Amino acid sequence: MTGQSHRGAVTAKNWIALLAIIVVASAIGIAFMLALNWFPEQGSNVAPMIDTFWDVLVIVSVPIFVAVTTMLLFSVWRWRQKPGEEDLDGPPIHGSTKLEVIWTIIPTIVIAALTTYAAILLVDIQAAPAKGTRVVNVNGVQFAWDFETETPAGPVKSGRLYLPINEPVKFNVRSKDVIHDFWVPAFRLKVDAVPGITTTYNLTPTKLGTFDVVCAELCGLGHAYMRQTVTVLTAERYATVMAGLARASGAKPPAGGAAADVAGEKLFVSGNPATGATACGACHALKAAGTTAATGPNLDEMLTKDDAAAIMEMIVDPNKEIVPGYSKGIMPANYATTLTKAELAALVKYIDQSVHGKG
Amino acid sequence: MAAKIRQPGWYRALAFSILGVLVCLGLSTGLRAAFSVDPVYDGTSVLQISLLMVPLFFLGGIGCFDYWLRWASGRTVVDDHADHGAKSWRDYFKVNTDHKVIGIQYICVSFFFMFIGGLMAMLVRAELASPGRQFVDPNTYNGVFSIHATLLIFLFVIPVFAGIANYVLPLMIGAPDMAFPRLNALSFWMLPVAGTMMLLSFLAPGGSFAAGWTAYAPLSVDAPIGQAFFTIAVQFAGASSIATALNFLVTIITMRAPGMTFFRMPLLVWANFSTSLLVVIATPFIAASQFMVLLDRALGFNFFNPANGGDILMYQHVFWFYSHPAVYIMLLPGFGIISEVLATRARKPVFGYRMMAFSLLAIVLLGFTVWAHHMFVSGMSDWIRIPMMITTAIIAIPTGIKIFSWVATLWRGVIKMDTPMLWAVGFISMFTLGGISGVMLAMVPLDIHVSDTYFIVAHIHYVLFGGSMFTIMAGIYFWFPKMTGRMYNERLGKIHFWLTFVFFNVTFAPMHLIGVQGMPRRVSDYADQFATWNMIISISSFILGFASLIFLYNMIVSWRSGPKAGSNPWNSLTIEWQVSSPPPIFNFDSIPSVVGGPYEYGVPGAVHAILDQPAETPVAAGVGAASEEN
């Protein structure tokens, strides 16, 4: 090699500087990553375990990225082709067994350590629930969840999930149509709801409040709207709510305390998020409501010859008769459970009047 | 006109396609009438049979089978090479057996679908710019992101690598062409068929296929007829992949020039050898998964109907047994490209050449042992999760070897930071990030929280965009002078890189965050808390999309009127650079002899291959180590 000064050997000073840059940049990177507010609030006993695991992964990962990028940038900065070096070649270094052994063994150790940690953590998370743990049956249907809490007096159905704080609960997750995924981000766990089998997980809610229940597996048109809530209550409050739910006739939940006088238009446009009743207007066009969606049939055109009773039937049992050009099973068939009788009546009245220009 | 319809070409393809539809119509109505099915005419039935059969009629019409049919029927076949090589631009629109023409065809068609798939991504981002509904209804939205992924995977990343290798690989190993030139042509022509079919699904009643590129059953079984377009198009794209991979394998094994031992092969050849092994072994599995969906849909087979003993998780196992190796099918050829670019532009041998080759094979082997890591929350048996986590994490080791060896290749090189090199260095850094988030995802406890969220979306884009796409760009800029004989505009190339690099990160890095915070993927609407980040991501993605127009402009203008490049503008040692740009129609006047390794930069007097230089080809402008062998 020629005598260009910048092509000289990498000195001990260079190495110290490089190492210092990697250490400092890694420290800054780790601090930044840990300072970011990554996770939603911690709502279950599992959440702190997962969040700590994440921190460990970040602390291991950042230095790897920083080291690779620093070496890249240093090489490019130090050995960039200068004018007059167009015909110059680098030294014919073909490899170094020592180096190759080192960068095979170190990642192997890191991987072994991380997978061991992960496996132990997984065993903890999956620990079988104690006998007598409360069981909640979670049923996914396009595009809503309904819940069935098992009690000594028989199952209590609800369109909204209620759980008592600090008591273990086991979810039996099922689906009636396609694959859904039962996920409460604040709890950190999720599992697919698979038709034909029952999947489970168990955890202990540790925080009072209301959290999102999200469907995480693409399940069709209404997938994005398959969002409900879980409310974690104190033991006393929980007992009261469950007693109320059990008293309520049949399986109809109190729809978040709906008043007798229900606004049909509001139900049509926004549904009832508390019970998981999807908004009609998300899929159907209706001039009076100003909705234009084309996922389902246009109601102004489709319902011209139908009376209130027929409309009620279509809402409660949408798969009975399908408008040509549309598919079976797209519209949720759960309105009989997610809406109260009063709400259904109000909704039917609203649609009937809107389509036929009455009222 | 009649003469035109008798000749292979577009007129005959059109006539045959119409004939095909009529045949399918006859077949469907005839059979239904024979078995007294009412009604006799059923549009869905005709459509599904047509989707399977009309492409074959089209391929016959365009001329893919002429030679074989002639030969099989015992008529005289003339080997006059009439369909070999391009004399004018029109020849690129015909069935051609020249690997260089097919390579260009592959690359151009792939990029055509890349731009359409990219446009779909813009639509997705426009819809997601703020919560609530912006432009499209949920059905269209699901269709748009499904087609986005499907086009970019099956019609861009996989075939564009096949295109680059088609052009470069036979030249690199000193072969006059691929082993099976006619099969090569057929492989190519199945691609536009598959891509067109996917796009046509937008016209299907009930909308396009909308179950994601993963097309999980039973959603895909219950979906409207648009889904059949996916199910069947994937068969053609898959058949194309398999045929090309077989072709590469046979070419590499049997057609290397004398002296080209396996350990003198450039790493791009190694990479495509490994990729082809993956394709040949894995691709039949996705074909199976889609045939099962098709049989369920069309004939009520109940593969995935639990009420009749079907098993829904089976779909995912069969699907991912292909689709995880597919990730490596979409990466390994890129690894090869990076090795070529780094060695040539840093003027140094690839560090640890043998380990680079072995690590490719290790990835092939391990790639088949990890598929169920896509299914950690699917409800499969719990015990499978730990072994799959371990095998997945182990892949980081050969991948790490490659990354560290690339960095070591740069070390003490004479590094020319031009456009191909920018993409290559950018790739190493971005792919490291994608690899790291991959190891995180392998960790079951974390995966349970982040699977099916935007964290996954971020990860796959760091791997397939920061990974595959960056290597594709490095390769396209690197071999552009060889393919066209002209030089691209360096300044535009650099602007393209920097815009892409910056806005790639602004687009995809925040997705890690909103994913962990709880935003699921594949949604047209989301909770308000994610609104700010989604707006930033959308704006950034539009700039990212704009950057690709600079690339398009650069390629078109440079191809037409760029400065002449000469045969070896990079002063490279590998064989493709020792012939003219573009290379002669049969590549070499006589087969080269290989006498040394491919990357002996810095070794005084080192030569990779000896060619009989044709008299009219002038020696390359650059004079370095390469000039020794001229």
Nearest to A7, CA basis, from B485, B414, B269, B606: B414
Query: Are the C-beta atoms of residues A118 and B449 closer than 8 Å to each other?
Result: no
- Based on its alpha-carbon atoms, the radius of gyration of chain A, rounded to whole angstroms, reads 30
**Is residue B622 over pLDDT 70?**
no
**A39, B516: Cβ pair inside 8 Å?**
yes
**Is residue A250 over pLDDT 70?**
no
Reported as a single tens digit per residue, the pLDDT across A213-246 is 999 999 998 898 888 899 999 999 999 999 888 8
The tokens of A90 are what?
A: 């680098």
Reported as a single tens digit per residue, the pLDDT across A62-89 is 999 999 999 999 999 999 999 988 889 9
Q: Are residues B144 and B212 in the same domain?
A: yes
The tokens of B71 are what?
A: 């030969």
Q: Residue B628: which pLDDT band, with cuts at 50, 70 and 90? A: very low
- Dihedral Cα A160, A166, A168, A169, nearest 10 deg: 0
Query: Are the C-beta atoms of residues A100 and B355 closer than 8 Å to each other?
Result: yes
Residue B84 lies in a domain: no
Q: Are residues B383 and B516 in the same domain?
A: yes
**Is residue A258 over pLDDT 70?**
no
Which residue in this structure is represented by tokens 């080291």?
A67
Q: Are residues B177 and B249 in the same domain?
A: yes
Please give the residue that has the higher pLDDT: either A158 or B352: B352
**Is A134-247 in CATH node 3.30.390.50?**
no
CATH number at residue B491: 1.20.210.10
Residue B335 lies in a domain: no
Q: Where are the domains of chain A?
A: 11-79+97-126, 134-247, 264-356
The tokens of B584 are what?
A: 């002669």
**Mean pLDDT across A161-176:** 95
Nearest to A75, CA basis, from B403, B351, B340, B407: B407
How crowded is the C-beta side of A321, counted as CA atoms within 13 Å? 9
Reported as a single tens digit per residue, the pLDDT across A136-164 is 999 999 888 989 999 888 888 888 899 99
Residues from chain A that touch B346, judged by Cβ atoms under 8 A, are 79, 90
Residue B480 lies in a domain: yes
Q: Are residues B481 and B591 in the same domain?
A: no
Q: Are residues B262 and B411 in the same domain?
A: no
Neighbours of B104 (CB within 10 A): 20
Distance (Å, rounded) from C-alpha A211 to C-alpha B125?
Answer: 27
**B601, A115: Cβ pair inside 8 Å?**
no
Nearest to B352 among A40, A95, A190 (CB): A95
Residue B610, H or E segment: strand B609-610
Reported as a single tens digit per residue, the pLDDT across B383-414 is 999 999 999 999 999 999 999 999 999 999 99
The tokens of B182 are what?
A: 């006619």
**Is residue B219 over pLDDT 50?**
yes
Q: Are residues B579 and B549 in the same domain?
A: no
Reported as a single tens digit per residue, the pLDDT across A260-272 is 446 787 788 777 7
Q: Are residues B464 and B386 in the same domain?
A: yes
Residue B343 lies in a domain: no
Residue ranges of B 144-163 with Cβ closer than 8 A to chain A: none
Instruction: Using alpha carbons, list the distances in angstroms from residue B94 to A12, A167, B13, B18, B582.
Output: 62, 71, 11, 19, 19
Distance (Å, rounded) from C-alpha A11 to C-alpha A8?
Answer: 8
Which residue in this structure is represented by tokens 């930069």?
B601
Phi and psi for A214 in degrees, rounded to 5?
Answer: -120, 140
**Is residue B23 over pLDDT 90?**
yes
Q: Are residues B496 and B592 in the same domain?
A: no
Instruction: Using alpha carbons, list the distances in angstroms from residue A81 to A77, B346, B429, B574.
Output: 9, 9, 21, 21
Nearest to A72 among B354, B429, B602 (CB): B429
**Mean pLDDT across A18-41:** 96
Work out whether the CA dihedral B613, B616, B617, B622 comes out positive or negative: positive
Please give the residue that has the higher pLDDT: either B461 or A151: B461
Q: Are residues B138 and B15 in the same domain?
A: no
CB-based contacts of B28, cutoff 8 Å, min separation 6: B41, B42, B45, B46, B49
**Mean pLDDT across B602-626:** 64
Q: Are residues B545 and B579 in the same domain?
A: no
Distance (Å, rounded) from C-alpha A197 to C-alpha A189?
Answer: 18
Residue B296 lies in a domain: no
Summary mean pLDDT of chain B: 93
Residue B402 lies in a domain: yes
Phi and psi for B369 in degrees, rounded to 5?
Answer: -110, 10
Q: Are residues B486 and B363 in the same domain?
A: yes
How many structural domains comprise chain B?
4
Query: Are the C-beta atoms of residues B237 and B155 closer than 8 Å to each other?
Result: yes
Summary mean pLDDT of chain A: 87
Nearest to A89 among B442, B449, B601 (CB): B601
Q: Which domain holds residue B152?
A: 96-276+326-330
Task: Name the fold adopted by A264-356.
Answer: Cytochrome Bc1 Complex; Chain D, domain 2 (1.10.760)
The secondary structure of B363-400 as a DSSP string is HHHHHTT-GGGGGTTTT--GGGHHHHHHHHHHTHHHHH
Nearest to B397 among A108, A183, A214 (CB): A108
pLDDT of residue B614: 52
Using DSSP, state whether A232 is helix, strand or coil: strand
Instruction: Using alpha carbons, list the distances in angstroms from residue B138 to A59, B306, B564.
Output: 40, 27, 50
Reported as a single tens digit per residue, the pLDDT across B28-57 is 999 999 999 888 999 999 999 999 999 999
The tokens of B41 are what?
A: 């005419």
Residues from chain A that touch B205, judged by Cβ atoms under 8 A, are 325
Interface size, chain A vs chain B, as Cβ–Cβ contacts under 8 Å: 280
Q: Which residues of A282-312 are buried (b: 16+ CB within 10 A; e: fewer)?
A: bbbbbebbebebebbbbbbebbeebeeeebb
pLDDT of residue A221: 87
Q: Are residues B362 and B458 in the same domain?
A: yes
The secondary structure of B459-473 as a DSSP string is HHHHHIIIIIIHHHH
Q: Which site among A78, A221, A226, A278 would you substitute to test the B interface, given the most B Cβ atoms closer than 10 Å to its Cβ?
A: A221
| A243 Cα to chain B: minimum distance (Å) | 32
Predicted ipTM of the assembly: 0.91
Nearest to A192 among B378, B397, B520 (CB): B378
The CA-based angle B251-B334-B93, given to 5 degrees, is 60
**A81, B205: Cβ pair inside 8 Å?**
no
Nearest CA in chain B to A90: B413
pLDDT of residue A254: 43
Nearest CA in chain B to A49: B445
How crowded is the C-beta side of A339, counted as CA atoms within 13 Å? 29
Report the range of poorest mean pLDDT among A66-70, B94-98, B107-111, B624-628.
B624-628
Distance (Å, rounded) from C-alpha A85 to C-alpha B96?
Answer: 43
The CA-based angle B345-B349-B354, given to 5 degrees, is 130
Nearest to B266, CA basis, from B336, B193, B330, B170: B336
pLDDT of residue A4: 54
Q: Give me the sheet containing A134-141, strands edge to edge.
A: A154-158, A144-151, A134-141, A169-175, A199-203
pLDDT of residue B189: 97
CB-based contacts of B333, cutoff 8 Å, min separation 6: B161, B162, B164, B165, B268, B271, B272, B275, B471
Inform me whether the C-beta atom of residue B351 falls under 8 Å from chain A C-beta atoms.
yes
